[in-house]
Structure 1
Amino acid sequence: MAWLPLALLSAFSLASADACSKKFLPSYRAREMVLVRFAYSALLLAPLLYFSPLPAVPPAFWGWLALALPLEILAMLLYMQAIRDSPLSLTLPYLAFTPVFTTLAGYLLLGERISTQGLLGIVLVVSGAYLLNLEASGTPGRDHLSKPLRAIANERGSRMMLAVAIIYGLTSVIGKIELQYASPWSFAAIYFVLLGLLSLVLFACSSPRPRVLHVLGRKPAIHLLIGGLFTAMIVTHFMALEQVATAYMISAKRTSILFGMLYGALLFGEQGLLRRLTAGALMVVGVTLLAV
Structure 2
Amino acid sequence: MVWFLLSLAAAFLMATTAAYMKRFFSDVSPWEMAVIPFFYVTPFCIIALCFMEIPKLGSEFFPALSWVLPLTMVAIILHFRAIHMSPLSVTMPFLSFTPIFVILTGRLLLGETLSSSGIIGILLIVTGGYVLNLDSAKDGFSGPIRAIFKEPGSALMLLVAALYGLCSVGGKILIINSSPMFAAMSLFSAYGMLLTTILVGTGKASLRTITSRPALGFGVGLCIFMEIICHNIAISLVAAAYMVAIKRLAGIFSVLYGWLLFHEHGIRYRLIGTLIMTAGAVCIALWA
TM norm structure 1: 0.93
Asked whether the equivalents of residues 54 and 187 of structure 1 are also in contact (C-alpha less than 8 Å), the reply is no
> How do 1:71-110 and structure 2 match up within 5 A?
71-107=71-107
* Residue aligning to 1:133: 133
Deviation at 1:133, TM superposition (A): 1.2
Instruction: Work out the CA distance in 2 between the residues paired with 1:208 and 1:19.
Output: 23
* Residue aligning to 2:43: 43
* Residue aligning to 2:200: 204
Deviation at 1:58, TM superposition (A): 4.6
RMSD: 1.7
Unaligned runs of 5+ in 1: none
Deviation at 1:32, TM superposition (A): 0.8
* Residue aligning to 1:70: 70
* Residue aligning to 2:188: 192
Deviation at 1:131, TM superposition (A): 0.5
Tell me if 1:174 matches 2:150: no
Deviation at 1:215, TM superposition (A): 2.2
Instruction: Work out the CA distance in 2 between the residues paired with 1:51 and 1:132.
Output: 45
Instruction: Work out the CA distance in 1 between the residues paired with 2:239 and 2:126.
Output: 25
Deviation at 1:60, TM superposition (A): 3.1
Asked whether the equivalents of residues 54 and 182 of structure 2 are also in contact (C-alpha less than 8 Å), the reply is yes
* Residue aligning to 1:231: 225
Instruction: Work out the CA distance in 2 between the residues paired with 1:73 and 1:227.
Output: 16
Instruction: Work out the CA distance in 2 between the residues paired with 1:113 and 1:217.
Output: 48
Tell me if 1:222 matches 2:216: yes
CA deviation vs aligned residue, 1:77-124 (integer Å, no higher than 9, x gap): 111111111011110011011110121333456553211111101110
Instruction: Work out the CA distance in 1 between the residues paired with 2:250 and 2:93.
Output: 9
Deviation at 1:197, TM superposition (A): 0.9
Q: Which amino acid aligns with 1:221?
A: A
Instruction: Work out the CA distance in 2 between the residues paired with 1:208 and 1:267.
Output: 29
* Residue aligning to 2:4: 4
Give the ranges of 4+ consecutive aligned residues of structure 1 lying more than 4 Å apart after TM superposition: 108-111
Instruction: Work out the CA distance in 1 between the residues paired with 2:104 and 2:127.
Output: 17
Figure out how many residues of one structure are paired with residues of the other and give that number. 286
SS in 2 for 1:102: helix
Instruction: Work out the CA distance in 2 between the residues paired with 1:242 and 1:113.
Output: 25
> How do 1:241-256 and structure 2 match up within 5 A?
241-256=235-250
* Residue aligning to 1:271: 265
Asked whether the equivalents of residues 52 and 189 of structure 1 are also in contact (C-alpha less than 8 Å), the reply is no
Deviation at 1:59, TM superposition (A): 5.0
Asked whether the equivalents of residues 48 and 185 of structure 1 are also in contact (C-alpha less than 8 Å), the reply is no
Q: Which amino acid aligns with 1:177?
A: I
Unaligned runs of 5+ in 2: none
Instruction: Work out the CA distance in 2 between the residues paired with 1:38 and 1:287.
Output: 27
Instruction: Work out the CA distance in 2 between the residues paired with 1:180 and 1:45.
Output: 20
TM norm structure 2: 0.94
CA deviation vs aligned residue, 1:12-41 (integer Å, no higher than 9, x gap): 111111101001111111221122111111
Q: Which amino acid aligns with 1:137?
A: A
CA deviation vs aligned residue, 1:160-202 (integer Å, no higher than 9, x gap): 1011011101110111111121010111111110111111211
